[in-house]
Amino acid sequence: MVQKYGGTSVGDAARIRAVADHIVRTAKSGKDVVVVVSAMGKTTDDLLRLAGDVSSVHPPREMDMLLTAGERVSMALMCMALADLGIDAVSFTGSQAGIITDTIHGKARILEVRGDRIREALAAGRVAVVAGFQGVSTDRDVTTLGRGGSDTTAVALAAGLAASSCEIYTDVTGVFSADPRIVPGAAKLARLSFDEMLEIAATGGRVLALRSVEFARNHHVPLQVRSSFTWEAGTTIDEEEPSMEQPLVTAVTHDTSEAKITLPTVPDKPGIAAKLFHGLAGKSINVDMIVQNSSLHGTTDISFTLPKADLQAGMQVVEELASEIGAEPPQADDGIAKVSLIGAGMRTHPGISATMFEVLAANGINIEMISTSPIRISCVVRVGAVEQAVLALHAAFDLEEDGTGN
């Protein structure tokens, strides 16, 4: 089996010893164990600050070389802690573990997992401890996998080694029906489908990165999200079980990391939207929601959301296009938030969106944009209203701990 431990789980010497103790229990039960570790706690932040102190220029290849020092430390320390408990463990860098990636530094994609050295270690009765977040490119350079990279390493290894399971240990006890910091009665979800987890990750749930869930779904690797602090049973994420009745709504999520750009009075003719979003893609800006009103007077408005960090770059693209096509100047808005309802049962129960809009209206919350998928409804609201929206929806759909979930 594969067990992945995040940065807070290996944050200091005492945490590393606690995690080692847990690994030993699994290993002593006779299972082959592959451990994936992140860098300790704030290591990555410290290295980034050093890089800022040294230079204003950060070549991506060298950033990857720098940041991969973090997992190197935590995995070596983990092997030592395991040795202290009488377990023979051996550490592997991304390169040694055979994590082969493309050459895009900072957000490399895994092309192949050549797990020969890990298989040899397991066959010799050893625990394999692998550096998360890193690989080696087809050009033999050290690469990193970007945000959520250690989760992706764990899932890729579980797929490549045909592991029986993949446990993601973190600082929360599982995936909840809403953020417990906002909704005190939020329920821990025992089981989710990959599709639901994908929607949760895409709409603000921070437990797992979108990309690692996609990887797990595509390679049919069931995940378990658990706490390395309480070790209690967490959330299982697996294929949907077609025989089971799905709850209508599983979770309410929210996201305050996005901003909105509106381009008004766009001439309603073919090619404008294509030009706009092609320009944004060229700057690697991830656009999330897009809304275009139907045209009444030959012009239309286009609104879209994007990460706040990309707002300035996005505005530059849109301003150039606006002056080129003679549209009015675009408007930037960083005071928005997105609230979403997610549930596999929505596929067969189309009335959910109406209920959602009624709940928001009853609370005096104005909806600025709407987007839907077969198992999700998202509304953009003012950022100041988002907590109230989450609480109201969580209550309305009966998601609290002892609720029945409809």
> Under the rule (CB under 8 A), what is the footprint of a second copy?
13, 16-17, 47, 50-51, 53-59, 61-63, 65-66, 68-70, 72-73, 75-77, 79-81, 83-84, 89-91, 93, 96, 117, 140, 142
Least distance to a second copy, CB of residue 137, Å = 12
- Name the minimum Å distance from CB 8 to a second copy: 16
**Cα-based distances in Å from 19 to 69, 74, 75, 223, 401:** 20, 12, 12, 19, 29
Measured from the CB atom, is 63 or 370 closer to a second copy?
Answer: 63
CB of 79 to a second copy, least distance (A): 4
Kindly tell me which of 79 and 202 has the beta carbon lying closer to a second copy. Answer: 79
Token pair belonging to 254: 């929210």
* Closer to a second copy by Cβ: residue 98 or 247: 98
Nearer to a second copy, 55 or 312 (CB): 55
Nearer to a second copy, 72 or 109 (CB): 72
Say which residue the tokens 């509106």 belong to. 262
Cβ atoms 212, 305 nearer than 8 A: no
Residue 262: C-alpha distances to residues 267, 273, 302, 376, 383 (Å)? 14, 12, 6, 23, 17
- Least Å from the CB of residue 1 to a second copy: 22
Decide if 349 contacts 253 (C-beta within 8 A). Answer: no
Question: Which residue, 14 or 296, is less far from a second copy as judged by CB?
Answer: 14
The DSSP call for residue 178 is: S
Report whether 21 contacts 50 (CB < 8 A): no
SS3 292: strand
What the block records as the tokens of 392 is 């109201």
We find the least distance from the C-beta atom of residue 378 to a second copy, in angstroms, to be 40
- Of 28 and 49, the one with the shorter C-beta distance to a second copy is 49
User: SS3 for 80?
Assistant: helix
What is the Cα gyration radius of the chain?
Answer: 23
Q: Which two tokens stand for residue 340?
A: 């979403």
CB of 101 to a second copy, least distance (A): 16
Q: Which is nearer to a second copy, 13 or 354 (CB)?
A: 13
**Nearest-CA neighbor of 389 among 336, 329, 319, 321?**
336
How far, CA to CA in Å, does 33 sit from each of 24, 29, 83, 291?
A: 9, 10, 15, 47
CA atoms in the 13 A half-sphere facing the CB of 113: 20
For residue 116, the minimal CB distance to a second copy (Å) is 11
Of the two residues 11 and 234, which places its CB atom closer to a second copy in the complex? 11
Nearest distance, CB of residue 17 and a second copy, angstroms: 6
Q: Please, what is the minimum distance in Å from the beta carbon of residue 157 to a second copy?
A: 18
Which among 79, 62, 83 is positioned nearest to 71, based on CA atoms? 79
Under a CB-based contact definition with an 8 Å cutoff, are residues 359 and 217 in contact? no
Toward a second copy, which CB reaches closer, 46 or 328? 46
What does the DSSP assignment read for 113-163?
Answer: E--HHHHHHHHTTPEEEEETTEEEETTS-EEE--TTHHHHHHHHHHHHTT-
> Minimal distance in Å, beta carbon 212 to a second copy?
25
